[in-house]
Amino acid sequence: MRRTTILTAALLLANASPLLAQHGEERGGLLTLSGGLSAWTIIIFLIVLGVLSWKAYPAILGAVEAREKHIAELTEAAERDRAEAAALVEEHRKLVEDTRAQVQKALGEATGTAEARRAEIMEQAQRERDELLARARADVNAERATMMEQVRRDSVDVAIRAAERLVRKNMDSDDNRRLVQDYLAQLGTPAARA
């Protein structure tokens, strides 16, 4: 406040110098002092200085201090906002990294699951194929056995019929008797019974 008062006084004196110079030219010189004019100038200066100190300076200083306070608050708010923005940027960066890691993990798990599922499907298809082949082989073997049995039966039937015809044709009752007696003789021997 003292600095402002001194500055105001210097400005008033600078503005009063041209008036003094003009008045001094009329009476004899630039540097001549007139007692009455000097006294009135000092009185007016002190009145103006008092009124300015009483009314204007507190208002001006209050406005300047309020502006400085407002600027300081804005600066602090800007610093807080900058710090919050930096924290948010860091948080956003961490979230992006976490999200990227989660996406990579999910992709890895999905790939692993897909591979496991593919392997499971391939294994199941292999089992089904093996079962189908085993069933087909079993069916073929059963059919072959059935066919072979049928062929054997048919062969036996054909052989019996052929033998029957051959025996009827070639044997008479004496031959039949001799064949039965030989057979009974073989049954009667101990080697035939064992």
pLDDT digit string (tens) for the chain, length 194 residues: 666 667 666 666 666 555 555 554 455 555 677 778 888 889 999 999 998 888 888 888 889 999 999 999 999 999 999 999 999 999 999 999 999 999 999 999 999 999 999 999 999 999 999 999 999 999 999 999 899 888 878 877 776 776 676 666 665 667 767 777 777 777 766 554 44
**In whole angstroms, how large is the CA radius of gyration of the chain?**
68
Q: Per the domain annotation, does 76 fall within a domain? A: no
Q: Is residue 35 part of a domain?
A: no
> Does residue 117 belong to any structural domain of this protein?
no
Residue 161 lies in a domain: yes
pTM, 2 dp: 0.36
Residue 180 lies in a domain: yes
For 170, the domain range is 140-188
Specify if 165 maps to a domain. yes
Does 71 fall in a domain?
no
Count of domains in the chain?
A: 1
> Does residue 17 belong to any structural domain of this protein?
no
